[in-house]
Chain A
């Protein structure tokens, strides 16, 4: 849920670099400071405990589960500390399904991220100059991002349906000959989920590029225009360089979330027809096969890729304070 489904968690968060205002001058501690410290800890500790119990501990536990041979059926009888083994990882890395799934995940993430950023950028530029009703248009364009993922995937599924879906009704015979089963036929299924991802997350890009454009000083572009630069030249040499840091952070964030996205693909194709991304595979191993060990091992692979990306994001955002 944290961002992975888009949702409304989509606020790039900038990690705090230093406590603002107050210096960490600990030479003298007044009673007020000491009571502040106690009060602060008291206020934050419920949240910290909750996050530790429901997020941090489970992640650590996943690590332990990944090294055990554990089935869902035997869960009630199994102890917390079973026999440790690396079999799960051997199985995961030697199964051809895993590698093709990783490739699919990469294609999906790159395609989804690039197309969402491209469309979001175009949308932000098209809506840049004011016109009547712009606020309403902008709000309407944000709808795919806030709409419930289950309803959105259901409608898309019906739209792309080969029997009576509107896309085939209009397109078959006109653009292609026979109705195409867009969600259960290679390579259309993967293309469809990427287009869906673009539809759902370009508003996020639109939102942040719009905010960044508002902050861009008009004088620079004015100067370029006076010097006779054409709109494409102004965009290429004046606007785009200013947007680049924002686009970079958006690319990283979108990539992280698309890479781990479960809901969209599970609901659209169920992971069939060449769309089985790792997160769907994890779910499949966990629920359908009841193979907790293998599910954990694959989740860990996902987590380690993610950890690298989060570190990059943290360094990047903390250094430049963009987004």
Chain B
């Protein structure tokens, strides 16, 4: 439990180092040496981090274009030769099972539908709920905030047992709609938090001015608050999409029995154990699974990192 017990270790009272004990000459030289060492070390660290983080992605793309037999002959070669480059892996992984492929195009459709459905429903719930928490005084508001925090910290595996039993019992296993609802229940809490924080930055005075002019709450929301909160709503939509697209456990519990309903994540995880499908083909599947997320991420990086830290800007 070191993660917990070490928490208050460092006393915040440590005085700003005034190295009065060190003689001036030695202090200067230590300073000089350290500055030089760290000046170099910094670039070493950055280079290491880039290789460490990006290599798996490079390896994924590389293998997805290499021919299996040439991979087995020369597994250590980290650059492709022109002669072995092939895109048949992609054709095989994407085309339907009927035409000898793995049907990832169908999986992408399922993933896309589920992710978009989750985004739409979560946003609908979250916009209404976060506006209420940010702006309106109603009984039980604090209790609801605490409830949402608990939901946000509760891990999926704890819900796996009862939800699996419940959906099996009422025969909703395999239903994409049921899965969307489960995803919504998981994402709505954090979505409400980030949106609430944003709504609180919108000056109340604008809304009050509209109220004085006779606008109703609903009109104010639709005409004033929502347009102002659009950037936050957009970044929210993006990260909900990513969560739903990447999700694995509930997809596994609910959809595994019917191949035509598999998501990309589920499909890749199920086919990964198979001996008949070449690794390079599954690598193409991994690229297909990862690429939409990477594109979304780089297209919206500024927006997203802003949204990510939005809940944490108090410190």
Interface residues of A (CB under 8 A from B): 1-5, 7-16, 19-22, 24, 33, 35-44, 46-48, 50-51, 53-59, 61-62, 65, 72, 75-76, 106, 109-110, 113-114, 119, 122-123, 126-127, 129, 137, 139-144, 146-152, 154-159, 164-166, 169-170, 199, 203, 207-208, 211-212, 215, 220, 223-224, 227-234, 236-238, 240-241, 244-246, 248, 251-252, 254-257, 260-263, 267, 279, 282-283, 286-287, 292, 295-296, 299, 302-303, 306, 309-310, 312-314, 316, 321-323
Contacts and interface: CB of A to CB of B under 8 A. Distances in A.
A270 B280 CA distance: 22
Interface string B149-188: 1111111111111111110110000000000011111111
A138 B169 CA distance: 47
A106 B185 contact: no
Contacts of B63: 158
A283 B160 contact: yes
A4 B59 contact: no
A159 B56 contact: yes
Interface residues of B, number: 141
Contact of B50 (A137, A287, A303): A137
Contacts of B4: 251-252, 255, 309, 312
B35 interface: yes
B16 A127 contact: no
Nearest to A146: B297
B308 A22 contact: no
Interface stretch (B68-76, B79-87, B89-97): B68-76
A259 B6 CA distance: 17
A141 B10 contact: no
A2 B144 CA distance: 17
Contact of A151 (B60, B136, B138, B150): B60
A15 B153 CA distance: 12
Interface in B118-141: 125-126, 128-129, 131-133, 135-141
Interface centre among B50, B128, B246 (most CB of A within 10 A): B246
B157 A228 contact: no
A1 B183 contact: yes
B286 A199 contact: no
Contact of B289 (A151, A164, A223, A227): A151
Main SS at interface, chain B: helix
A119 B136 CA distance: 42
B248 A13 contact: no
B309 A211 contact: yes
Given A47-B128, A314-B149, A306 B16 contact: no
Nearest to B241: A8
B259 interface: no
A166 B155 contact: no
A149 B309 contact: no
Interface centre among B57, B133, B290, B308 (most CB of A within 10 A): B308
